[in-house]
Amino acid sequence: MEVRVRYAPSPTGMQHIGGVRTALFNYLFARANGGKFILRLEDTDRTRYGEEYVQNLFDTLAWLGIEWDEGPDKGGPYGPYVQSERFALYKKHADELVEKGQAYYCFCDAERLERIRTIQTMNKMPPGYDRSCRHLTAEEIKANIDAGKPYVIRLKVPLEGVTRFHDALLGDIEWKNEDINPDPVLLKSDGFPTYHLANIVDDHFMKITHVMRAQEWIPSTPLHVLMYRAFGWEPPQFCHLPMVMGQDGQKLSKRHGATSVNEFRARGYIPEALINYVSMLGCSYEDGRDLYSLADFEKLFKIEHLNKAPAVFDYKKLEWFNGQYMRLMSDEALYRATLPFLTGTGDAAIPVNATEQFPAPKVGPDVSGVSLDENGAPIAEGLTSAQTKEKLLQLMPLIKERLHFLCDAAEMVRFLFTEPAVPPIDQIVPKKLDAAKTKEVLEASIDFIQAIPSLDHEAAEELARKTAENLGIKLGDFMMPIRMAVTGSRVSPPLMGSIAILGADRAVERTRKTLELFK
């Protein structure tokens, strides 16, 4: 039997880590088993529906490189794959359950349901429908319908007994039927299906073999099993995925940091890092490697690799992956990936929910000094776009080691394309030196800077060490004032390389300007 799995999001919000993990695991399971991965839009909740969320779903999966075999845009043998285009099917099947005596019409209006709720709350009883319409006679039903009374269709949940199902990860799970939602609505009075009805009708007709979804859906599963039975259908295999928690053991949420994939994109995470990290959230692989590509996971994924325990989302670990993947990029690829962050375009233009804990990344031409010309090529003041690109390419190997996120590049390239303001004197003087000594350092650095372009890296380091020694100071205290003078910042790419790319003349000029402060 061919494996068929689906990712079935409701377009009521931006794609977040949890959803993407569900999508990924389904996708990987399909690929690992030569099966099909189906994308289905569960858009029955029209009040929370947003067109932008549908777009975001497509964008996010495309960005991650997760491809589906059947889906809204692609079609397939069991389409349409959008629930709002399948309403007639759900109604037909709700009616079928009524005919079979497995579901019933309920004419209770909102007012009555509200009254039941109030009484239940007052008596500290569990909430739920009191099943009064379950016992209407055929005549009463006919009279209500003839009178044009609106109705919903409810499932007849067995009053006693238990419902069991097997979860591929968690094993056998059983629920007392008395603990299942008393007679949930399948079809609403406006003819819209509820999630439960549409979800299982679709899983059945789309021939889904395995339902892999978050553990928060477990309480719905006994109900779904009852519905499959009521229809006389074979339920799929269920596999409920471990939860994703923050470091504090609470369900991962905005409080912990970025959760929507958009935010990760806008902060300069790269898809390979996210794929690698998220595929290991609650899933471990035999060979204990750290770095896996999507193609690796497509071969290796197994349900047996899933953990039962919740996964803890570790932002630092994801950051580590991000760094690793950026270091693996060629200079040209890194240049292309960072350019949007230098110019504030593309991914870098996606709005982020900045908080104090997670401030908005600093990106854009006012940070980097690089903008795009009318042909989409990088351009900086006083340079042609070819020169700008050349300088950026030269700089890539230097900044590669220091990037945590693509957005970090904006500040790191700035010194090349803008004249930094001369920093205040107290920022230039190292803690261990005084102003007089710092002045000496800067004076001595002029010769040093001028020598750099003709020296290789080792010789330049040796010269720096010697000069520091002659001044009787540590190497760090020698470099720091020069770094401040040349780049205007304490954090810059490696100094010697930076000077070589900037040009000794400009570096000396900046140093002289800074020296004026000490006169």
Check the annotation: does 407 bind a ligand: no
Mind giving me the DSSP string for 167-225?
A: ETTTEEEEEEGGGS-SS-EEE-TTSPBPHHHHHHHHHHHTT--EEEEEGGGGGGHHHHH
Q: What whole-number distance in Å separates Cα of residue 79 and Cα of residue 88?
A: 13
Residue 193 binds to ligand GLU (criterion: CB under 6 A): no
Within 13 Å and on the Cβ side, how many CA atoms surround 152?
A: 20
Size of the site for ligand GLU (CB under 6 A): 7
One of 10, 237, 394, 450 touching ligand GLU (CB under 6 A) = 10
42 binds ligand GLU (CB under 6 A): yes
Does residue 8 bind ligand GLU (CB under 6 A)? Answer: yes
Determine the interface stretch with ligand GLU among 3-11, 168-176, 227-235, 432-440 (rule: CB under 6 A).
Answer: 3-11
Site string for ligand GLU, 209-248 (x = CB under 6 A): ----x---x-------------------------------
- Residue 106 assigned as binding residue: yes
9 binds ligand GLU (CB under 6 A): yes
Q: What counts of helices (H) and strands (E) characterise the chain?
A: 21, 13
Q: Where are the alpha helices (DSSP H) in 191-314?
A: 195-205, 221-231, 261-266, 271-278, 294-300
Between 42 and 183, name the residue whose CB sits nearer to ligand GLU: 42
254 is in an annotated binding site: yes
| Closest CB 220 distance from ligand GLU, rounded Å | 7
Nearest distance from C-beta of residue 303 to ligand GLU, angstroms = 16
Nearer to ligand GLU, 17 or 266 (CB): 17
**Cβ neighbours of residue 377 closer than 8 Å, sequence gap 6 or more:** 385, 386, 388, 389
Residue type, 52: E
Structure tokens at 476: 């760090």
239 marked as part of a ligand binding site: no
Shortest distance, CB of residue 399 to ligand GLU, whole angstroms? 40
Cα–Cα distances (Å) from 54 to 20, 48, 243, 264, 435, in that order, read: 14, 12, 24, 18, 60
- On whether the CB atoms of residues 413 and 370 are closer than 8 A, the answer is yes
Nearby residues of 324 by Cβ (< 8 Å), 6 or more positions away = 273, 290, 291
Indicate which single residue of 15, 199, 260, 262 sits in contact with ligand GLU (rule: CB under 6 A).
199
Which one of 7-15, 94-102, 293-301, 309-317 is the stretch in contact with ligand GLU (CB under 6 A)? 7-15
SS3 assignment, position 277? helix
Give the nearest distance from C-beta 208 to ligand GLU in angstroms.
10
Could you say whether residue 84 binds ligand GLU (CB under 6 A)?
Answer: no
- Tell the smallest beta-carbon distance from residue 172 to ligand GLU (Å): 20
The angle subtended at Cα 419 by Cα 417 and Cα 423, nearest 5°, is 130
- Specify the stretch interacting with ligand GLU by CB under 6 A; choose among 5-13, 113-121, 229-237, 252-260: 5-13
Q: Which is nearer to ligand GLU, 11 or 430 (CB)?
A: 11
Share of the chain residues as helix, strand and coil, in percent rounded to the nearest 5? 50, 10, 35
In total, the chain counts a number of residues equal to 519
Q: CA torsion sign, 273 to 276 to 279 to 282?
A: negative
Cα–Cα distance, 350 to 263 (Å, whole number): 8
- Residue 213 C-beta: closest distance to ligand GLU, Å: 4
Question: Which CB atom, from 213 or from 483, has the smaller least distance to ligand GLU?
Answer: 213
CA distance 471 to 436: 12
Catalytic residues: 254
Least gap, CB of 151 to ligand GLU (angstroms):
25
For the annotated binding site for Zn(2+), the residues are 106, 108, 133, 135
Report the interface residues with ligand GLU, using CB under 6 A.
8-10, 42, 199, 213, 217
For the annotated binding site, the residues are 106, 108, 133, 135, 254
For the annotated binding site for ATP, the residues are 254
